[in-house]
Amino acid sequence: MNYARIIGTGSYLPEKIITNFDLEKMVDTTDEWIRSRTGIEQRHVAAEGQFTVDLAEQAARRALEAAGKTSADIDLIIVATTTADRVFPSTACLLQQRLDIHGCAAFDVQAVCTGFIYALGVADKFFRTGSSKCALIVGAETLSRILDWNDRNTCVLFGDGAGAVVLEQSNEAGILSSHLHADGAYEKLLYTPYGVSRGLSELLDGAGGIAMKGNEVFKVAVNTLGRIVDETLACNNMDKSDIDWLVPHQANIRIINATAKKLKMSLEHVVVTVNKHGNTSSASVPLALDTAVRDGRIKRGEVLMLEAFGGGFTWGSVLLRY
């Protein structure tokens, strides 16, 4: 059996930090409101001229170094992003150029906050069929660029960053299973109103923003993530107690707590970075993973449940032995 095994992780956060107190000066909000409703204290924001591919490159280089691999070893690049720098080339191709890699498949996956889970799920299929032996999987976002910084409902929630993993073919797991879902019927609860064929010029004029019915998104997210936990465990004939670490999408500490409760997991076994990073969409899971790998919490051989929920709606999980 060809498994995809994580052999290195990396991440990158832009230098500039915006705290809740900074936001108090920008919109009608308070640190207390943001912290009590979301758990967020601060978020990182890309500098002028710093793009999604710049963040992706830093995270990718750190993951390659941790894996003991060079660009020459990589035979597949997948970048999960909602904030591609250009319509084309894809961020994955821009990253491929930066890393001086030539010829291998490179493409973006767009599943909003579930993007990295989708990218891992797709990569897993490449490994199971023997089509890839060493892959670079990245989640990278500059969400600050599509936010309306005058809209207190959304600007307090998001941040920029990137995370990456290097996967290598292994006879031992590895990714045990991946579960990917979407339901486009939920479009109206969370969306951007613009795109190539719909008001791109307005976006370029600065009238961007994210439209969101926050409390409805919250309810669907909690219920859906509860269901995906059951689906993932059942698929692997595992029990809740078999999971060593929950590495969840970092949108809101209350959503994370609800999933941990469903898994009957103490928060000591849940990786939480939402307080420092905010919601970095597809970068949030690999950023959290790299944080807990580098500080020594996550150890080789442990079983990790990665899960996410986001616009689309999309949702998914990956169960793996680290």
SS3 292: helix
d(CA 48, CA 214): 29
d(CA 255, CA 46): 26
**Does residue 93 have an active-site annotation?**
no
Query: Which residues are bridge partners to 169 per DSSP?
Result: 4
> What end-to-end distance do the CA atoms of the chain give, in Å?
17
Burial 114-153 (b: 16+ CB within 10 A, else e): bbbbbbbbbbbebbbeeebbbbbbbbbbbbbebbbbeebe
What's the sign of the alpha-carbon dihedral 233, 265, 321, 5? positive
Applying the rule CB under 6 A, the residues between 208 and 227 that interact with ligand ACO are: 212, 214-215, 217-218, 221
Rule CB under 6 A: choose which of 16, 33, 173, 235 binds ligand ACO.
33
Confirm if 61 and 72 have CB atoms less than 8 A apart: no
Rule CB under 6 A: choose which of 16, 17, 35, 37 binds ligand ACO.
37
Applying CB under 6 A, the span of 4-12, 70-78, 139-147, 244-252 interacting with ligand ACO comes to: 244-252
Residue closest to ligand ACO when measured from CB atoms: 214
Rule CB under 6 A: choose which of 126, 245, 309, 322 binds ligand ACO.
309
Per-residue contact track with ligand ACO, 263 to 292, x per CB under 6 A? ----------------x-------------
Instruction: Compute how many residues bind ligand ACO; rule: CB under 6 A.
Output: 23
**Does residue 279 have an active-site annotation?**
yes
Residue with tokens 């979301």: 38
Q: What would the two tokens of residue 186 be?
A: 């939920």
Task: Return the number of the residue (122 or 156) whose C-beta is nearest ligand ACO.
Answer: 156
**Does residue 171 have an active-site annotation?**
no
Confirm if 14 and 47 have CB atoms less than 8 A apart: yes
Of 93, 113, 134, 155, which residue is the catalytic one? Answer: 113
Closest approach, Cβ 227 to ligand ACO, in A, equals 15
CA 7 vs. chain centroid, Å, equals 18
Applying CB under 6 A, the span of 43-51, 58-66, 90-98, 153-161 interacting with ligand ACO comes to: 153-161
Of 20, 249, 252, 277, which residue is the catalytic one? Answer: 249
Q: What would the two tokens of residue 313 be?
A: 């709606």
CB-side exposure of 50: number of CA atoms within 13 Å? 22
Applying CB under 6 A, the span of 11-19, 73-81, 247-255, 268-276 interacting with ligand ACO comes to: 247-255
> Does the protein bind ligand ACO through residue 116 (CB under 6 A)?
no
Applying CB under 6 A, the residues found at the interface with ligand ACO are 29, 33-34, 37-38, 113, 152-153, 156-157, 190, 212, 214-215, 217-218, 221, 249, 251-252, 279, 309-310
